[in-house]
Amino acid sequence: MKKILIVYSDYYKDISKSILNGALKVLNKDNKKYKIFRVDGSFEIPQLINIKMKTKKYNSAIALGCVIKGQTPHFDFISSTITNALMDLSFKFNAPISNGVLTCLNQSQAKVRSSGKKNKGIEAANALLSILRSLK
Protein backbone atom coordinates (compact mmCIF):
# COMPACT_ATOMS: atom_id res chain seq x y z
CA MET A 1 0.00 0.00 0.00
CA LYS A 2 1.34 3.41 -0.93
CA LYS A 3 1.78 6.10 1.70
CA ILE A 4 1.03 9.80 1.90
CA LEU A 5 4.17 11.90 1.55
CA ILE A 6 4.45 14.83 3.96
CA VAL A 7 7.13 17.42 3.33
CA TYR A 8 7.36 20.30 5.77
CA SER A 9 9.63 23.25 6.29
CA ASP A 10 10.61 24.13 9.83
CA TYR A 11 11.93 27.62 9.11
CA TYR A 12 9.34 28.93 11.58
CA LYS A 13 9.62 26.05 14.04
CA ASP A 14 6.60 26.70 16.29
CA ILE A 15 4.27 27.36 13.39
CA SER A 16 5.52 24.36 11.41
CA LYS A 17 5.23 22.07 14.43
CA SER A 18 1.63 23.15 14.95
CA ILE A 19 0.52 22.66 11.33
CA LEU A 20 2.35 19.35 11.11
CA ASN A 21 0.64 18.15 14.31
CA GLY A 22 -2.71 19.27 12.90
CA ALA A 23 -2.19 17.26 9.72
CA LEU A 24 -1.00 14.20 11.63
CA LYS A 25 -4.03 14.34 13.92
CA VAL A 26 -6.33 14.09 10.88
CA LEU A 27 -4.31 11.35 9.17
CA ASN A 28 -3.97 9.27 12.34
CA LYS A 29 -7.70 9.55 13.00
CA ASP A 30 -8.29 8.17 9.50
CA ASN A 31 -5.61 5.44 9.98
CA LYS A 32 -3.59 6.66 7.00
CA LYS A 33 0.03 5.62 6.46
CA TYR A 34 2.47 8.43 5.83
CA LYS A 35 6.15 9.33 5.76
CA ILE A 36 7.45 12.72 6.92
CA PHE A 37 10.42 14.62 5.53
CA ARG A 38 11.77 17.98 6.75
CA VAL A 39 13.39 20.72 4.67
CA ASP A 40 14.87 24.01 5.82
CA GLY A 41 12.74 26.41 3.80
CA SER A 42 9.37 26.35 2.07
CA PHE A 43 10.99 26.89 -1.34
CA GLU A 44 12.53 23.40 -1.03
CA ILE A 45 9.20 21.64 -0.39
CA PRO A 46 8.22 21.12 -4.06
CA GLN A 47 11.77 20.05 -4.89
CA LEU A 48 11.69 17.22 -2.36
CA ILE A 49 8.13 16.25 -3.29
CA ASN A 50 9.29 15.89 -6.89
CA ILE A 51 12.23 13.67 -5.91
CA LYS A 52 10.22 11.49 -3.53
CA MET A 53 7.18 11.08 -5.80
CA LYS A 54 9.48 9.66 -8.49
CA THR A 55 10.09 6.65 -6.22
CA LYS A 56 6.42 5.65 -6.67
CA LYS A 57 6.17 4.86 -2.94
CA TYR A 58 3.54 7.57 -2.45
CA ASN A 59 0.06 8.08 -3.86
CA SER A 60 -0.30 11.69 -2.67
CA ALA A 61 1.46 14.46 -0.78
CA ILE A 62 0.93 17.25 1.71
CA ALA A 63 3.13 20.35 1.63
CA LEU A 64 3.41 22.19 4.96
CA GLY A 65 5.30 25.36 5.74
CA CYS A 66 5.07 29.08 6.25
CA VAL A 67 6.18 32.14 4.32
CA ILE A 68 5.84 35.51 6.04
CA LYS A 69 5.98 38.77 4.10
CA GLY A 70 9.02 40.92 4.69
CA GLN A 71 10.04 44.24 3.24
CA THR A 72 11.04 42.94 -0.19
CA PRO A 73 9.15 41.27 -3.07
CA HIS A 74 10.81 37.95 -2.12
CA PHE A 75 7.54 36.84 -0.43
CA ASP A 76 5.56 37.23 -3.66
CA PHE A 77 8.05 35.27 -5.75
CA ILE A 78 8.42 32.44 -3.23
CA SER A 79 4.69 32.10 -2.51
CA SER A 80 3.74 32.07 -6.19
CA THR A 81 6.54 29.68 -7.13
CA ILE A 82 5.58 27.19 -4.42
CA THR A 83 1.89 27.25 -5.31
CA ASN A 84 2.53 26.83 -9.03
CA ALA A 85 5.12 24.09 -8.48
CA LEU A 86 2.76 22.08 -6.28
CA MET A 87 -0.01 22.23 -8.88
CA ASP A 88 2.43 21.29 -11.64
CA LEU A 89 3.65 18.31 -9.60
CA SER A 90 0.09 17.16 -9.00
CA PHE A 91 -0.47 17.03 -12.76
CA LYS A 92 2.96 15.55 -13.47
CA PHE A 93 2.42 12.62 -11.10
CA ASN A 94 -1.36 12.43 -11.55
CA ALA A 95 -1.62 12.53 -7.77
CA PRO A 96 -3.28 14.86 -5.28
CA ILE A 97 -0.90 17.26 -3.56
CA SER A 98 -2.40 19.41 -0.85
CA ASN A 99 -0.98 22.88 -0.24
CA GLY A 100 -0.64 23.58 3.47
CA VAL A 101 1.99 26.29 3.08
CA LEU A 102 0.87 29.39 4.93
CA THR A 103 1.41 32.72 3.18
CA CYS A 104 0.95 35.39 5.82
CA LEU A 105 1.58 39.08 6.14
CA ASN A 106 2.92 38.78 9.69
CA GLN A 107 3.67 36.42 12.59
CA SER A 108 0.32 36.96 14.29
CA GLN A 109 -1.56 35.85 11.15
CA ALA A 110 0.66 32.78 10.97
CA LYS A 111 -0.05 31.92 14.61
CA VAL A 112 -3.81 32.15 14.07
CA ARG A 113 -3.66 30.01 10.92
CA SER A 114 -1.52 27.37 12.63
CA SER A 115 -3.65 26.81 15.70
CA GLY A 116 -7.16 25.90 16.72
CA LYS A 117 -9.88 25.43 14.13
CA LYS A 118 -8.05 27.51 11.51
CA ASN A 119 -5.02 25.18 11.55
CA LYS A 120 -3.85 24.94 7.92
CA GLY A 121 -2.38 21.49 8.58
CA ILE A 122 -5.83 20.18 9.49
CA GLU A 123 -7.32 21.85 6.41
CA ALA A 124 -4.61 20.47 4.10
CA ALA A 125 -4.99 16.91 5.42
CA ASN A 126 -8.79 17.06 5.17
CA ALA A 127 -8.56 18.41 1.62
CA LEU A 128 -6.22 15.60 0.62
CA LEU A 129 -8.42 12.92 2.20
CA SER A 130 -11.49 14.27 0.39
CA ILE A 131 -9.73 13.82 -2.94
CA LEU A 132 -8.43 10.37 -2.04
CA ARG A 133 -11.95 9.26 -1.03
CA SER A 134 -13.38 10.46 -4.33
CA LEU A 135 -10.82 8.37 -6.23
CA LYS A 136 -12.05 5.09 -4.74
Q: Please report how the helices 74-93 and 45-53 are oriented relative to each other, as an axis angle in degrees rounded to 10.
A: 10
Q: Rounded to an integer, what distance in angstroms lies between the CA atom of residue 13 and that of residue 52?
A: 23
Q: Is 74 a catalytic residue?
A: yes
| Per annotation, catalytic residue among 29, 54, 74, 118 | 74
At 99, which helix (H) or strand (E)? strand 97-104
For the chain, what is the total number of helices (H) and then of strands (E)? Answer: 5, 4
Count other C-beta atoms under 10 Å from residue 28's C-beta: 11
Q: Rounded to an integer, what distance in angstroms lies between the CA atom of residue 112 and that of residue 101?
A: 14
Residues serving a catalytic function are 74
